[in-house]
A and B are shown apart, each in its own frame.
Chain A
Amino acid sequence: MLDRDQVLHVARLARLELGEQEVARMAEELSKVLGHIEKIRELDLEGVAPTSHVIDVVNALRPDDPTPSLPRDVILAAAPEPLNDGFGVPSPGAA
C-alpha cells in the first residue's frame, strides 16, 4: 500500500535519514499495519464529533504570576554544542 517513494517522502517530513534496507522494511511493515487499521474507515461515523479532550474540562487557567526560569547555564549544560550563550547549530555558510 505504501511504496518506496511514499516512504521516502514521509521520512523526509519526519527528518529521518533511513537506510536503503530500512526503506524496504518500512514499506512492508507500515503497509501491513495500515491494512489492519483501514477497517475503521468502513464505520459509519456520519455526524460524529471528533474527540478533542476525553474528560470534560471547561477551561484551565492559572494566575499569570511571573516566576523565575531555570538559569541559562543549567539549560545549556545539556546541549551538545553550547555556543555564545546559545545552542550552536551547523551553519551552511560557516564551513
Chain B
Amino acid sequence: MSELIDLTAAQAAERIRAGEISATELFEAYRERAAADELNAFTWVAEAAPESNGNASKPLGGVPVAVKDLFCTEGVPSQSGSKILEGYRPPYTATVVAKLDGAGAPLLGKTNQDEFAMGSSNENSAFGPVLNPWDRTRVPGGSSGGSAAAVAAGSAPWAIGTDTGGSIRQPAALCGIVGLKPTYGACSRYGMIAFASSLDQAGPLTRDVTDAALMFRHMIGRDQLDSTSLEYPGEIAPPSSEDLKGIRLGVPEDLTGAEGGIEPGVRENFEATLALAEQLGASIEPCRLPHAPHALSAYYLIAPAEASANLARFDGVRYGLRVDGDQDLVTMYSRTRERGFGPEVKRRIMLGTYALSSGYYDAYYGTAQKVRTKIAEDFRAAFERFDFIAIPTSPCTAFELGAKLDDPLAMYLNDFLAVPMSLAGIPAISIPSGLSDGLPVGFQLAGPAFSESRLLDAAHALERAIQFDGGRPMTDGGGNAT
C-alpha cells in the first residue's frame, strides 16, 4: 500500500496506463488516508472509487484529485468554507473539475479553506482550522490550506486550489509542496464560488513540478461559460530542463527591503537558492518594480470591493442559510448575513462596501485600479530585461495557530510578496526550496502572461538541484500513519 502513496501523480498515472497498478486500488489507498485525515484538511471524502469508466486509458490515468471546497461539484457539498452555504449541494460542476474528471482525474474529496478564500492561515473556516502536517501547532497557510496540507501529508496525490492574492502559492510554500498560479484567464472560473473576479484563478497544488505541468495541461482553455477565459496559446509539455543556462533572473529590491518583513531564515534560504540558480547557469541581477510595494494596499481595496459585490448574492433567498427576520425582508437579509458570515468575511465586505460607497469611490477603488496599471507596467518593463522575477513566496514560514488572528493587518502582510503578480495577472510558481528551523520555505518565480511552459521548465531545473525531501509529513504528519 505505502508504495502506491510514494508515487507522484504523474508516475502513478504512467503505471496505471501501463497496467502495472490498478486505478481503483490507488483511489482506495488515498480514500482511506483522506477519510482518516487528522489535519482537518477535508470537508468531504468520496465514499467509494468511481465505477470503472475507462479512466485507466485517459491521460491522467484515474489518479484522483482533491478539490478546494469552493469549486462547485454536482451533488457534493460545496460551501466555500462558509456557514452561509450550509448544506448546499450544487446542481452543476465547475469547468476545471469537469475537465480534470474528463481527462481521468476523478474527485477524491473536497478540501477545507478560509471562508470564501479570504485568509492566509486557513483559520477563517466554518469547518475549523487546518493543521500544518510539518507541525500540527502551526497553520498550513491559506486560503487553499486544506489542499496544500492534504498533498503534503500524502492523503491526496494532488489537488486544485484558487489563488486571488497568493492563496495557492503561500500554502504551497508553508506546506513544502509546489503551487502554480496561472495567467489570469488560462483556466475557466465557471463554477468557482467567486471572491474577487478580476483576480481569482484556479491552479494545481502538487508534490513536484512535473505533476503541476501535467495537471495544468488539462485545466486550461477557453470556456463559453466564462467570458474572461482564453484560448491558451500553445501546449504545456512535461518540463525537462536540467539547467538554467541563459536564464536571466531579476530580484526585485523594492520587495526585499525591510517593509516586506522577510524573516532571516527565509532570506538565507532565498540567497542560497539564488546561488544554486547561478550554478545552474542563470544570471542574477537586482531589478526594479517601483510600484510593487503598494500592491498590498491596492489589493486590499480591489479584492474586498469585488467581494462585497460578489457576496451580495448570499441573502437567504436562493440557497444556504436563512435566519428569520420578523416578516421583514431587509431584516431577514441582514440577520442571515450576520449569522452566516465569519468575522474576516464581514470585515472585507465592510471594507469593500466602504471603498465603493458614494464619495469614496474615486479616492479608494479608482486609485487602486490606477496603481494596478502601474504595477502591470513595472512587470512589463522588468520582463524586457529578465526572463523571470525571483522572490520568496512568503516572508515567513508556517506560524503558530492563533498568532495573527487578532491582527488583520499582520495577517494581510503575509501576502506582500504574492499580490503584485495577482494584480498584474501574470503566472507565478512556488517550489519548496528547503527548510528553516524544520519548516518549509517557498521560492517563487514569476513570468510574463502565458509563460507557464518556460516557468515550469525553470522550476523543474531548480527542483532537481534543490532535492527537497517532502517525505516526512507523509509518514509522521499525515492523517493515517501506517
Listed in ascending order, the chain A residues whose CB lies under 8 Å from chain B are: 2, 6-7, 10-11, 13-19, 22, 26, 29-30, 32-34, 36-41, 43, 45, 48-55, 57, 60, 62, 70, 74-75, 77-81, 87, 89-92, 94-95
Interface size on B, residues (CB 8 A): 71
23 A-B contact pairs sorted by A residue (CB < 8 Å): A11-B350, A14-B337, A15-B337, A22-B343, A30-B347, A33-B412, A36-B300, A40-B368, A43-B291, A45-B374, A49-B370, A51-B372, A52-B369, A54-B184, A54-B376, A55-B183, A60-B227, A62-B224, A75-B318, A80-B316, A90-B325, A90-B326, A90-B332
Please name the residue on chain B nearest to A95 by beta carbon.
B327
| B332-357 CB contacts (< 8 Å) to partner A | 332-335, 337-338, 341, 343, 346-347, 349-351, 353-354, 357
B320 at the interface (CB under 8 A from A): yes
B264 at the interface (CB under 8 A from A): no
Q: Give which listed residue, B91, B230, B301, B367, contacts A74 with CB less than 8 A.
A: B91
Inter-chain contact B337/A80, CB cutoff 8 Å:
no
Please name the residue on chain A nearest to B424 by beta carbon.
A54
Given A26-B347, A29-B347, list of 5 further CB < 8 A pairs? Answer: A10-B353, A15-B333, A37-B301, A51-B372, A90-B328
Main secondary structure of the interface of B (DSSP, over half): helix
B185 at the interface (CB under 8 A from A): yes
Inter-chain contact B319/A78, CB cutoff 8 Å:
yes
Residues of B within 8 A of A52 (CB): 369
Q: Give which listed residue, B224, B316, B409, contacts A32 with CB less than 8 A.
A: B409
Inter-chain contact A55/B185, CB cutoff 8 Å:
yes
Inter-chain contact B373/A50, CB cutoff 8 Å:
yes
Residues of B within 8 A of A39 (CB): 294, 297
CB distance from B453 to the nearest CB of A (A): 17
Inter-chain contact B373/A48, CB cutoff 8 Å:
yes
Residues of B within 8 A of A33 (CB): 300, 351, 408-409, 412
